[in-house]
Amino acid sequence: MLTVNFRTLPLEKGDLVLDAGCGEGRHTFECFRRNCRILAMDLSHTSLRKAKYVLGQMEKRKEAKGNVLLLRGDALRFPFPDGTFDKIICAEVIEHVDDDRRGVAALARMLTEGGKIAVTVPTRMTEHLYDWLSGEYFQTPGGHVRKVIPRELAECMEENNLRVYAVGFAHSFHSPYWMLRCLSGLHKEGAPIPALYKKLLYYSLFSRPLRFLEHLCNYFFPKSIILYAQKRKQGD
């Protein structure tokens, strides 16, 4: 289940890619298939272990073309040299960061001149809805700490020499899921109605008609917005 569209963020053979806040590795897996060198970082040891297992299975099935290094740590504060990475993916991370402007600045610093970055965050509309439905939504440990305003995020990226060249939307089918989670109680992960809807989400991954329907729905009630940007070269 990818949030980033790799046609809009094209990867080239040998690219050094940072998956900042990789979670269980969904974007790392796709980079692995595309003959890239990937540094995948996350604070969660459990998530990294799950990613490591899947990467091992991909190697056994000979799906792997690239090289991956998994590191536990905060990718937004790790002291990588300036201009280290050709591409950066930062999916659903900024809304968890205490100092989002510092986080964007760190990402921009680590990106090489001419390099490209994709930053994804929840849409403002869905975040307001979930906050209204549940007092738990912004109070859950490890959860979201702010409602990200896409226009302000884009301005922050521009201030850090990142020229936004495309905007995308994704995961409209997940918008009702989190609404149901909020209504049922976020602490009740096994609540029957959200659990039933989650099965539909899983089924939709393998159904071309449902994927097409979700693509259409992304224009109306997406769960995520993606900002694609390129770092300006000196003199541009």
* pLDDT at residue 75 is higher than 90: no
Q: What percentage of the chain reaches a pLDDT higher than 70?
A: 98
Residue 76 has a pLDDT of 72
Residue 30 main-chain phi, psi, to 5 deg: -65, -40
Residue 187 has a pLDDT of 82
Q: Does domain 16-172+222-231 fall into CATH 3.40.50.620?
A: no
Which pLDDT tens digit goes with each residue over 129-161?
Answer: 999 999 888 887 777 888 999 999 999 999 999
- Per-residue DSSP letters for 63-103? ---SEEEEEES-TTTS-PPTT-EEEEEEES-GGG-S-HHHH
Which pLDDT tens digit goes with each residue over 13-39?
Answer: 889 999 999 999 999 999 998 889 999
Q: What is the H or E stretch that residue 209 is in?
A: helix 208-217
* pLDDT at residue 123 is higher than 90: yes
Domain coordinates in residue numbering, the chain:
16-172+222-231
Residue 235 has a pLDDT of 66
Residue 38 has a pLDDT of 95
